Structure 1
Amino acid sequence: MFGVNCSENCSKNCRGPNNACNNVNGSCIFGCNDGYQGERCESSSLLGQSKKRAETNDIALLLKYLIAVTGLTFAACLLMATAYNTGGEEAGSEFMTNEEETAGNQLRIHLGDIPDYSEVKPNIDNGFKQEWISTKEQQTAPLLELVLASLKGNEQKQEEP
């Protein structure tokens, strides 16, 4: 309250307890609430509103940036996991096929189910060395020789009347 006999109310836009103002001229003692300006805080301030909008825009921009970075990171991880699971091979190269044609018969051995592995062996010169061992060759070579020998044996039996 201010003025002669404190007959006037302080502005509702004065900051502080009970909208405190000077008892003589009504000026706000603790300043104005956000969005208001002037001695008695009676005119609106676009500066306060634009400041709030700027803060809101900054937060929105930050959220957009975080979403974009998260999305790109997820996509990169997904691509790397897919490449790792397929072994870097192109689609359609699931099976390698060795073909041997004998006496009108066709023999196919699918090597895609036999994995390669690596083995660490001691090396006298510099500690250990890693060697890639092809289990496909180790496991299929004796089988292939056995099948070919069997086919040759069948051919020889057919030739003997």
Structure 2
Amino acid sequence: MSEADGTAGEAPTNPVSTGRLSFAIFSMARAHRAYAAELLRELDLHPGQELLLMQLMERDGQTQAELLASVGLDHSTVSKSLKRMQERGLVEREPTEHDRRAMRVRLTPKGEGMRGPLERMWATLERTSVRDLDERGIEQFIATSETIKRAILERHAAES
């Protein structure tokens, strides 16, 4: 019996071949994230900052907690990103009226000025990503992605 995989007389398997879909998702996400980061550098933004800006462009004046919930990043990442964005003059943070510990985040005119460049950056990323897909392929990919995401998020309920 092999200590590595618990099988007797069988050749060990390659984790990539037993997790082909997971490896494909990882590889695709990594390439997509790298290209997005390249485009963001041209805007002098760090990955994740565009998500915060877009959330504020949709609804300005959110609290840090609301932003945290909407972008799915951890507290320290959001806090550090907002600090950098404030230093660059893209956002302002101020304590809320009802709780001085909670911070409300608002776009500055400079931050609002990022709307056009972000829309163009996002459109470039999208065009490149779907270049070889037709509308049906795009819809199938989105549906499959949602199915996989739901399975992962609901894994505890399925295991019970």
Q: Could you tell me the TM-score, scaled by structure 1's length?
A: 0.22
Structure with more contact order per residue of length (Cα contacts < 8 Å, sep ≥ 6): 2
Please identify which structure carries the higher strand content. Answer: 1
